């Protein structure tokens, strides 16, 4: 079955809900059993990590539907939902480490994941090392006997470096480490994490799965080998996603294929236009043929999304303010993956420790929404006119 077919049908079982197309929103803490045997059976299934509804913390039929859909699309054994994308990044790390262990994180990791590692993980006695996202097989030199987790994120947050995930995973597995990937940019459609050696594939479902800027949710799909550890740690930490957000995510998921295609095309159109502006130093977008990550992107990815970076040549503060203050369509706001276009300034000074950011000028992060590319380009054109006039 092709992806566009799978995404429509994965995880759905309308007959379970009197033919209703979308799994209903079930608000639940208590889930009653009819008799002692059923109660014991439910407890046994839960203890073994088997699907079922036992207590609201572990979700209900709606939660299972979304988890099943994500597991199928990602190509993992099973998936679990989290109340945020950040929780879906950090709980899996916690699941596999103990005091005295060592974890390797890409220097391009999502900022809040980095804060968790530097703060809580370090406080719990876990050593953290950041590595160059372009390390590839060179990760071998950084592996220690106590390295339990290798965390990858490709393309990297803000800087969009593409990692050689299969090479890193091969080394990690030889050293008995678990490979966790933040796969939000690639989505299950454009990066097949498990075919590239990943053990846990994380989505900030807040982004493209939700797709409408109105929910916070995370998911993690896992191989059968690591699933029990991931699942039990998740519930031990009391992670539970709200049923309304789970509902919205599964609703958003059904159109992700068509939305992504449009985000990808529009993002590339904007990138092509932007690279011709004299104030632009560089575009950070691995789908552009001259991007340093393009070869790996072409080898491993099936597509792009609408998120990319722009490095500007140094400009004055008033010019930058003029650029930002006056957009008609682009919103200035965090997060991405919704239907509307966004632009934010990103400051890379001091947030990389294993690598050096070589540019002096300001950096932008753009999210290409579903608007007409021509209208978005006109909005950007006006911004550059304001910048030049300032
Ligand atoms: C947004 C984001 C997250 C976190 O998701 P939230 O739902 O906002 O907690 C994690 N990783 C990446 C790459 C993100 O962009």
Look up the CATH number of the domain holding residue 122: 3.40.640.10
- Closest ligand 1 atom number to CA of residue 335: 1
204 shares a domain with 267: no
pLDDT at 123: 98
Dihedral angle sign, alpha carbons of residues 351, 355, 358, 363? negative
pLDDT of residue 46: 84
Give the Cα separation of 320 and 10 in Å (integer): 45
Please name the residue that has the structure tokens 């930058």: 320
The per-residue pLDDT for 349 is: 83
For the Cβ of 337 lying below 6 angstroms from any atom of ligand 1, the answer is: no
Answer whether 108 contacts ligand 1 (Cβ < 6 A). Answer: no
Contacts of 51 (CB under 8 A, 6+ apart): 45, 64, 68, 78
pLDDT of residue 51: 75
Same domain, 267 and 248: no
Does residue 49 have a pLDDT over 80?
Answer: no
Residues 6+ apart with CB under 8 A from 156: 106, 107, 108, 109, 133, 163
Q: Is the CB of 152 under 6 A from ligand 1?
A: no
- CA 111 to centroid of ligand 1, rounded, Å: 9
**Residue 217: how many other CB atoms lie within 10 Å:** 26
Distance 43 CA to ligand 1 centre (A): 33
**Mean pLDDT of the region 309-333:** 97
Contact by Cβ (8 Å): 223, 195: no
Residues 6+ apart with CB under 8 A from 370: 259, 262, 263, 266, 339, 340
| Nearest-5° Cα angle at 222, 178 to 138 | 30
Task: Supply the pLDDT for residue 146.
Answer: 98
Q: Do 216 and 67 belong together in one domain? A: yes
Beta carbon of 202 within 6 Å of any ligand 1 atom: no
Nearest in space to 213 (alpha carbons), one of 352, 314, 373, 337: 337
Residues 247 and 103 in one domain: yes
Query: Could you give the C-alpha distances from 263 to 12, 220, 267, 366, in angstroms and in order?
Result: 26, 23, 6, 11
- The response to whether residue 204 sits with its C-beta less than 6 Å from ligand 1 reads yes
pLDDT in tens, 198-245: 999 999 999 999 999 999 999 999 999 999 999 999 999 999 999 999
Per-residue pLDDT tens digits for 139-173: 999 999 999 999 999 999 999 999 999 999 999 99
Same domain? 382 vs 291: yes
Query: What confidence tier does 351 reach under pLDDT thresholds 50, 70, 90?
Result: confident
CA of 85 to the centre of ligand 1 (A): 5
Chain mean pLDDT for the chain: 96
Based on the domain organization, do 51 and 196 belong to the same domain?
yes
Are 273 and 202 within one domain? no
Domain end call among 188, 220, 253: 253
- Residue 384 domain boundaries: 256-389
Q: Is the pLDDT of residue 71 over 80?
A: yes
Q: Give the atom of ligand 1 at the shortest distance from the alpha carbon of 334.
A: 1
Residue carrying structure tokens 């608000």: 27
Same domain, 372 and 281: yes
Domain boundary among 223, 253, 283: 253
pLDDT value of residue 53:
86
Answer yes or no: do 235 and 263 share one domain.
no
Looking at residue 282, which CATH number applies to its domain? Answer: 3.90.1150.10
Burial class (CB in 10 A: 0-12, 13-18, 19+), 223: buried
pLDDT in tens, 246-273: 999 999 999 999 999 999 999 999 999 9
Q: Which tokens go with 324?
A: 């930002």
Cα-based torsion angle of the residue sequence 62, 19, 10, 96 in order, rounded to the nearest 10 degrees? 20
For residue 217, the CA-to-ligand 1 centroid distance in Å is: 9
Radius of gyration of the chain from its Cα atoms, rounded to whole angstroms: 22
DSSP for 172-238, please give it: HHHTT-EEEEE-TTTHHHH--GGGGT-SEEEEETTTTTT-SS----EEEEE-TTTHHHHHHHHHHTT
Please tell me the number of Cα atoms within 13 Å of 84 on its side-chain side.
7
Distance 212 CA to ligand 1 centre (A): 15
Q: What is the pLDDT of residue 47?
A: 82
Provide mean pLDDT across the span 72-80: 97
Which residue's CA is minimally distant from atom 8 of ligand 1? 85
Which atom of ligand 1 lies at the shortest distance from residue 87's CA? 9
Q: How far, in Å, CA of 265 to CA of 370, rounded? A: 10
Beta-carbon neighbour count of residue 142 at 10 Å? 17
Could you tell me the pLDDT band of residue 298, with boundaries at 50, 70 and 90?
very high
Ligand 1 center to 277 CA (angstroms):
30
Which pLDDT score is estimated for 290? 96
Same domain, yes or no: 151 and 50:
yes
Question: Is pLDDT above 90 for 343?
Answer: yes
CB of 203 within 6 A of ligand 1: the answer is: no
What is the value of pTM for the model shown? Answer: 0.97
Antiparallel, parallel or unpaired: β 363-367 and 342-346: antiparallel
Which ranges of 198-338 would DSSP assign to H, the alpha helix?
227-236, 243-253, 256-274, 294-300, 317-324
In this structure, the answer to whether residues 332 and 316 fall within a common structural domain is yes
**Could you give the number of structural domains in the chain?**
2
SS3 percent helix, strand, coil of the chain, rounded to 5, is 40, 15, 45
Best of 87, 204, 214 for a ligand 1 pocket test (most atoms within 8 Å of beta carbon): 204
The pLDDT assigned to 271 comes to 98
DSSP 8-state symbol, 163: P
Asked if the model's pLDDT at residue 291 lies above 80, the reply is yes
Cβ–ligand 1 distance for 206 under 6 Å, the answer yes
Ligand 1 centre distance from Cα of residue 276 (Å):
31
N-to-C CA span, the chain? 54
HEC string of 68-84 equals HHHHHHHCCCEEEEECC
Cβ of 216 closer than 6 Å to ligand 1, yes or no, is yes
Contacts of 332 (CB under 8 A, 6+ apart): 324, 342, 343, 344
Q: What are phi and psi of 285, to 5 degrees?
A: -155, 105
Which of 203, 232, 253 delimits the end of a domain?
A: 253
Question: Do 129 and 175 fall within a single domain?
Answer: yes
Q: Which of 160, 183, 201, 206 to mutate to test the pocket of ligand 1 (most atoms within 8 A of CB)?
A: 206
C-beta of 88 in contact with ligand 1 (< 6 A):
no
């Amino acid at each position: 079955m092709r992806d566009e077919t799978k995404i429509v049908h994965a995880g759905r079982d309308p007959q379970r809900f009197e033919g209703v197309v979308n799994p209903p929103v079930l608000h639940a803490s208590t889930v009653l059993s009819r008799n002692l045997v059923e109660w014991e059976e439910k407890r046994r299934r839960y203890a073994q990590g088997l699907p079922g509804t036992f207590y609201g913390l572990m979700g209900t039929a709606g939660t299972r539907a979304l988890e099943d859909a994500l597991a199928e699309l990602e190509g993992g054994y099973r998936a679990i939902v989290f109340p945020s994308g950040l929780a879906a990044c950090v709980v899996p790390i916690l699941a596999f480490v103990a005091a005295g262990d060592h974890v390797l994180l890409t220097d391009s990791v999502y900022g809040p994941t980095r804060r968790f590692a530097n703060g809580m993980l370090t406080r719990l006695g876990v050593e953290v090392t950041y590595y160059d996202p372009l390390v590839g097989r060179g990760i071998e030199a950084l592996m220690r006997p106590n390295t339990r987790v290798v965390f990858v994120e490709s393309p990297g947050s803000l800087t969009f470096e593409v990692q050689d995930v299969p090479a890193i995973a091969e080394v990690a597995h030889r050293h008995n480490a678990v490979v966790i990937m933040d796969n939000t940019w690639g989505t299950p459609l454009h990066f097949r994490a498990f075919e590239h050696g990943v053990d846990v594939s994380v989505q900030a479902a807040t982004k493209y799965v939700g797709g409408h800027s109105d929910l916070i949710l995370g998911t993690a799909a896992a191989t059968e080998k690591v699933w029990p550890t991931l699942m039990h740690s998740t519930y031990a930490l009391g992670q539970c996603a709200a049923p309304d957000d789970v509902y919205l995510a599964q609703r958003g998921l059904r159109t992700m294929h068509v939305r992504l295609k449009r985000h990808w095309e529009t993002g590339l159109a904007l990138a092509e236009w932007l690279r011709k502006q004299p104030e632009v130093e560089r575009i950070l977008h691995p789908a552009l043929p001259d991007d340093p990550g393009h070869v790996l992107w072409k080898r491993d990815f099936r597509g792009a999304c609408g998120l990319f970076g722009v490095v500007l040549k140094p400009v004055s503060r008033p010019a930058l303010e003029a650029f930002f203050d006056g957009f008609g369509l682009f919103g200035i706001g965090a997060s991405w993956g919704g239907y509307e276009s966004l632009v934010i300034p990103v400051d890379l000074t001091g947030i990389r420790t294993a690598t050096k950011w070589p540019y002096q000028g300001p950096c932008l992060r753009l999210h290409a929404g579903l608007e007409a590319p021509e209208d978005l380009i006109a909005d950007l054109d006006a911004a550059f006119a304001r910048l030049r006039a300032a």
